[in-house]
Structure 1
């Protein structure tokens, strides 16, 4: 084998990193950070917090691997793919090894979830079951959610409401209006990540018969929806602190929005002009916007104690 062929073959670690798509992982970290920050010190449990983070992180990786596997199997990922390299489609990994990776990370998430169920109670088992089902049904099964224009809604539900409110619930065994509205705000930003992904892939998805929200709305409509999601996130934030937590001053309420504003403006500007592979940059910066918002809001809440 030539040295050129050797150098072009990525190492197992590189293949693993390509498969799990690290740039998307802030989408699983952000809601846990935000939900946990709402917990009062007397209710906080380190083991519970780490397990909640583990569930979110491992399920996110499982989703990424499942997308890699099912999109290659269905023919959605072709040679003209504009997104990051998919290891199955690029023949860097066998379909069987990627499928085993899905099973491994689902099992790791379930292991963390069992700890949470033992701490919180059996009702959490129902939510956990739906999370695992959504992980597998997102791009696989008889009704793939991602192929029926439900990707953004799935993100809002599971990475917004379930992840933020769930991270709060496992410590307190309670839900709150504040956690709901903050989950909604962050969920809109995380849904925007999915929208960018689908905007980039409009042509290939349409050719493969994959119906996404971006395919239905078209290029211009998808870009307008991105701006709308960012605006809705800001409005949900103001509802959260304006009604669910009315003791805050107006200045305090706007601190996280002011922190996010430069990055949000840059993202919205890019959403209007970037095309093709350049949308991969917007994918990463939108994920970072969600993380910045989650951290800024978490720090605001912690500072008020």
Structure 2
């Protein structure tokens, strides 16, 4: 008995396969791996991209390509002996319609023996959009967790998270590090006299002025109430004092108009600085700056007190 299918059986089987491929809600195409000639596209592709005519795969499916796509997976589908390596799964945003697709590519032998790439591409735009929205929400939550809601500066949590990395680098390479702390003088009087909304406006103004004065590498934070801190990487005491004085003068010369009233604010400053911070923690460095700030308050306010930490 002869079990070899005749031509009519092969045609019937081929038609059945095409029917199945045309019923799938995904792009399916077959392209010659050498010439990029399209040998088959299913009905889904025709509905989305139209009739291919004599276009090659990169001309038909993509936009503004001057030759085979740089992201073509052909080289991933064959081994060194030019034999198929199996299915390769990847995700890609189509250059023509901007939809995202999960692609399953494989090199196979076509009915005439030549190597072809068959790709099944499923539209995952909705999933990708959800992933991007979740990632954006995660980043926003992370940002808000480290941001002071009123001034939009770093909060105490972010100051320590970022600052500990800076201090580790300073300890590793023996670089100087300084902290400036400053606290607004008689801030309670502003709240009591003009109200908390005026106090909030003052804090926002102070944050804006301080942020405009520091360097990009400096870490400025509102660490509580009317208290601010600045971590200064690779900064010694003289440099830190110059910056603190610049901020002090900027605040002292500024006037904020609120409801027709000029509000003038001053601040007291404390600075701690270490040239060799090997055994020092960020909390320890901050506490020393806080002690110096307290001294400035004791000695008349609107001034700067400093402490240089010497190597043991």
Higher relative contact order (CA 8 A, sep 6+): 1
| TM-score, with length taken from structure 2 | 0.23
Structure in which a larger fraction of residues adopt helix: 1
| TM-score, with length taken from structure 1 | 0.24
Structure in which a larger fraction of residues adopt strand: 2
Larger Rg: 2
